[in-house]
Amino acid sequence: MGRLLGTVAAAAITLTASTAHAETWRYAFEEALDEVQGIFAQKFKEEVEANSDHTVQLFPFGTLGESADIMEQAQAGILQFVNQSPGFTGALIPEAQVFFVPYLLPQDQDTLFEFFRSSVAINEMFPELYAEQGLELLTMYPEGEVCMTTQEPVRSPEDLNEVKFRVMTNPLLVESYQAFGATPTPLPWGEVYGALQTGIIQGQENPGFFLESTKMYEVTDVITCIGHNNFTTALMANQDFYDGLGEGDQQVIQDAVDVAFEYILEYQRDLQEESLAKIKEAKPEMEINILSEEERQPFMDTAPAVEEAFVEMTGEGGQEILDQMKADLEAAAEATGG
C-alpha cells in the first residue's frame, strides 16, 4: 500500500510539474485568420498544441495595432511570436529589403518554393541579422505574386506617371516604384481602402488573395500583374523567450514551423488564379491584365538601378546577401528544372 501511495504521489508531482510549465504563447500577424498568414498561424497553433502542453493565442491584424506596434511588442517580449513582412522589418534590418528588388524572385512556383526551402541566405545569413534585433528568425515563406490595383490600365511605366501609389514604409519599395514611374506614397495598411476611395492615392500592390479578401477591387478598376515580385513574410520569436526554452520546447516549435511551412506552400498552389477569378465574379467589369514578356520588359529594365540602390543602402553586407540569394536561386532552378 505504501509503495502504491508513493507511486501515486510521484505521478501527481510529475503531473503538477508538467502542468506548471504549460504556458500560453502569444502570436500576432499582419493579416486576417482566413488569409495566408492566418492559415499558417492556425496550422502552427494546431501542431504546438497537439505536441505539447502549451497553448498558442492568435492575434490577427488590427487586434494589437499596426505592423510597427506588433514588432515593438515582440521585441519587448509582450508577444512570443510575430509574423511580419520584410517590407516593414526593413526599417530594422535593411538587408531584408532585398525581397523588394524587382524580378529577383522567380515566377515558377516550384523554383520559388525550393528556394525558400533550401536558401543559404534565408536559413543561415538572415537569422544572424534578426538576432541582432532580439529576434529568432524561424522561417520565411512566400505568399503569392504581387499585382497592382489602379484606376487606369497600366501597360508601361509611362502609365504610372504621377500616379500616387501606396507602398509600405520601406525605402527600397519607394525606390522601386519611383523607377517604375509612380509617385510612391507610404501609408499604414489600415488607411489604404479609404485613401483609394477618396482619391488620396490611385494605386497599391498586393498578392491576389489579399486583393480579393480586403475588397481592394471595390475602390479600384484595374488589376495589373507584371511578374515583378512575390510577397514574402517571416515568422520570428522573441529571442530571450526562445533562448530560455528547453530543447524539447524548441523542437516542438521547429517541428510546428516545418509542418506549417509545407502546408502553406501547398495551400498556395492555385490560390492566385482562384482569387483573381473570385474578383472577376464579384465585379465583372474589373479589368485584369497579365502583361506579356514584351510589355514587362520596360519594368524589368528598372531592376538593375533598384538593385544598385539596395547595395548603396546596405553596403558590403547587403551585397553578400544579394550574391548568395542569386546563387541560391540558381541552385533552386537547377534542382527543379525551372
Tens of pLDDT, residue by residue over 187-232, are 988 899 999 999 999 999 999 999 999 999 999 999 999 999 999 9
Mean pLDDT of all residues in 12-38: 77
Q: Looking at residue 20, what is its pLDDT?
A: 42
The mean predicted confidence, pLDDT, of the chain is 92
Q: Looking at residue 177, what is its pLDDT?
A: 95
Cell numbers placing 246: 528547453
**What is the percentage of the chain residues whose pLDDT exceeds 90?**
87
Q: Looking at residue 188, what is its pLDDT?
A: 87
pLDDT top residue among 291 and 168: 291
Q: Looking at residue 289, what is its pLDDT?
A: 97
Mean pLDDT of all residues in 27-41: 97
pLDDT top residue among 87 and 292: 292
Q: Looking at residue 16, what is its pLDDT?
A: 37
Mean pLDDT of all residues in 318-336: 97
Mean pLDDT of all residues in 135-149: 97
Q: How confident is the model at residue 183 (pLDDT cuts 50, 70, 90)?
A: very high
Mean pLDDT of all residues in 131-148: 97
Mean pLDDT of all residues in 271-291: 97
Mean pLDDT of all residues in 121-141: 97
Q: Looking at residue 86, what is its pLDDT?
A: 86
Task: Answer yes or no: is pLDDT of 271 > 80.
Answer: yes
Cell numbers placing 69: 506596434
Q: Looking at residue 21, what is its pLDDT?
A: 83
pLDDT top residue among 240 and 13: 240
Q: Looking at residue 251, what is its pLDDT?
A: 98
